[in-house]
Amino acid sequence: MSLEDDFCPFQPGPGQRPPLMGGREREQESLRLAASGLLRKDAPRGTSAPVLVTGPRGNGKTCLLLWFEDALQEAWRKAGMGKDLQVVRLSARRLSGLHAMDALSPNGWGHLLRKGAESIRKAHPRANPIPPSDLTPHDVLRAQCRGGNAYALLIDEAHTLDVDMGCALFNAWQELAPNHRIMLVLAGTPDLVDHVNDMNATFASRSKKLLVGRLPPAGAREALVPPLEDANVRLSEGQEREALAECQEYPFFIQVWGEQLWLSAHRAGTTALSEDQFREAMHEAATVRTSYYDERRAELKKLGLSAVASAVAALYGKPDDRVSEHKLEYAVRGALGDKATDGNVQQALTQLKHCGLVWPSPQVRSDEEQRGRRWEAGIPSLMANIRRNIPEPAGQQGLRH
């Protein structure tokens, strides 16, 4: 058997490219549209609004950024626009400390100097290769999109963006965007919008918001079944239905189930799984899921949110339950007991969004337009796991559906 035969196409893990990115057509379309001003030479400048991509962990934000980076390069190449596009994709963690300015300009200082950044020239008339410490993001961004060049900055994990750096970047964007080809995309957990809002409310309100939640059912099937078939593993109709039901349209689980189904077939040297082989794969995948939930519960515990999480989980009886913000706040308030100041309740909600336990649902149903956005579970089966493992706080039972 060759090494190639040993290659499992599924990639469970943060930032891993899946064999097939299913169900993201709407998000891809939005990003393409947001980039159209950047790509057309004759387009009026200042047409690309900043984009905030948010969603609970494991839903594919990084994956979408990776796709977008490739798509931009490809579109640029097809449009025959030469080398005057710079796409920089990085984690916000690289935008702090000594090398932050380097991270914004991966081609280095020489590259910026050739592009004629006035302030760099002034500070370093002899083109000293040591990065000047007094450079600002404005200097670097302006140098990057000088002379009609295009610059796209894609910041991942942006909920960790340093506040001073964020303020400087957003101010720079606001000054440069009207006359330059510049695009800014930030991806992060659902608390990102609050974080950006605290730094620059105008920037936050002008941004296009892209909410990346679980996949639509057809997209989930597309992400699991064709890649298995491409690897010569065929599921029966019943097996397909059962595996997909376990994944709950959550992209990370699709990769976990895909990997275990592939492994089981690979071990047995078969293309169609017997009942025993299928059960083995389901069991292994569920074991991975259980450890994932253990980690999530430990994280909630560390934040002092076990009781809050349990009160919230009690509100989500069925997988697709959606809860009003009012009801959620009420449950959080009850669980916090005598610590329930307005500030603490909001902080707990922000932390729950960050952990991906609940978040404002991307879809607003027509019957909900008047009543406000509903909050859905980040992963429905995590709610059930919490209900099983953390006792519900006393006096909260009356809040349930």
> For the purposes of burial, counting CB atoms within 10 Å of the CB of 27, is it exposed (0-12), middle (13-18) or buried (19 or more)?
buried
CB of 244 to ligand ADP, least distance (A): 12
DSSP 61-72: HHHHHHHHHHHH
* Alpha-carbon distance values, 377 to 37, 56, 64, 320 (Å): 36, 10, 21, 8
- The residue written with tokens 């990997």 in the block is 259
400: left (phi over 0), alpha (psi -120 to 50) or beta: beta
> Which is nearer to ligand ADP, 76 or 253 (by Cβ)?
253
Q: Which stretch binds Mg ion (CB under 5 A): 61-69, 131-139, 216-224, 360-368?
A: 61-69
Q: Which stretch binds Mg ion (CB under 5 A): 57-65, 102-110, 220-228, 364-372?
A: 57-65
Beta-carbon neighbour count of residue 357 at 10 Å? 25
One of 8, 11, 167, 208 touching ligand ADP (CB under 6 A) = 11
Both tokens assigned to 167: 């303020």
CB of 133 to ligand ADP, least distance (A): 32
Instruction: Pick what 59 binds: ligand ADP, Mg ion, none; C-beta below 5 to 8 Å, kind-dependent.
Output: ligand ADP
Q: CA-CA distance, 327 to 345, in Å (whole number)? A: 12
Position 18 contacts ligand ADP (CB under 6 A):
yes
Q: Which of residues 252-281 bind Mg ion (CB under 5 A)?
A: none
Position 24 contacts ligand ADP (CB under 6 A):
yes
> Which is nearer to ligand ADP, 63 or 176 (by Cβ)?
63
> Which is nearer to ligand ADP, 63 or 349 (by Cβ)?
63
> For the purposes of burial, counting CB atoms within 10 Å of the CB of 31, is it exposed (0-12), middle (13-18) or buried (19 or more)?
buried
DSSP-derived 3-state class of residue 195: helix
CB of 172 to ligand ADP, least distance (A): 25
One of 31, 34, 35, 62 touching ligand ADP (CB under 6 A) = 62
CB of 43 to ligand ADP, least distance (A): 29
Q: CA-CA distance, 150 to 146, in Å (whole number)? A: 8
Position 214 contacts ligand ADP (CB under 6 A):
no
Position 62 contacts Mg ion (CB under 5 A):
yes
Beta-carbon neighbour count of residue 368 at 10 Å? 14
Position 190 contacts ligand ADP (CB under 6 A):
no
Q: Which stretch binds ligand ADP (CB under 6 A): 28-36, 94-102, 131-139, 247-255?
A: 247-255
> Which is nearer to ligand ADP, 62 or 306 (by Cβ)?
62
Position 58 contacts ligand ADP (CB under 6 A):
yes
**Spatial contact of 157 and 92, defined as CB atoms under 8 Å apart:** yes
Binding residues for Mg ion, how many (CB under 5 A)? Answer: 1
**Spatial contact of 19 and 227, defined as CB atoms under 8 Å apart:** yes
Q: Which stretch binds ligand ADP (CB under 6 A): 10-18, 76-84, 195-203, 318-326?
A: 10-18
One of 34, 38, 48, 61 touching ligand ADP (CB under 6 A) = 61
Max CA separation in the chain (angstroms): 73
Both tokens assigned to 236: 């029966």
DSSP 234-277: B--HHHHHHHHHHHTT-HHHHHHHHHHHHHHHHHHT-SB--HHH
Q: Which stretch binds Mg ion (CB under 5 A): 27-35, 60-68, 309-317, 391-399?
A: 60-68
> Which is nearer to ligand ADP, 72 or 85 (by Cβ)?
72
> Which is nearer to ligand ADP, 139 or 249 (by Cβ)?
249
Binding site for Mg ion (CB under 5 A): 62
Query: Applying CB under 6 A, which residues contact ligand ADP?
Result: 11-16, 18, 21-24, 55, 57-63, 215, 223, 251-252, 254-255
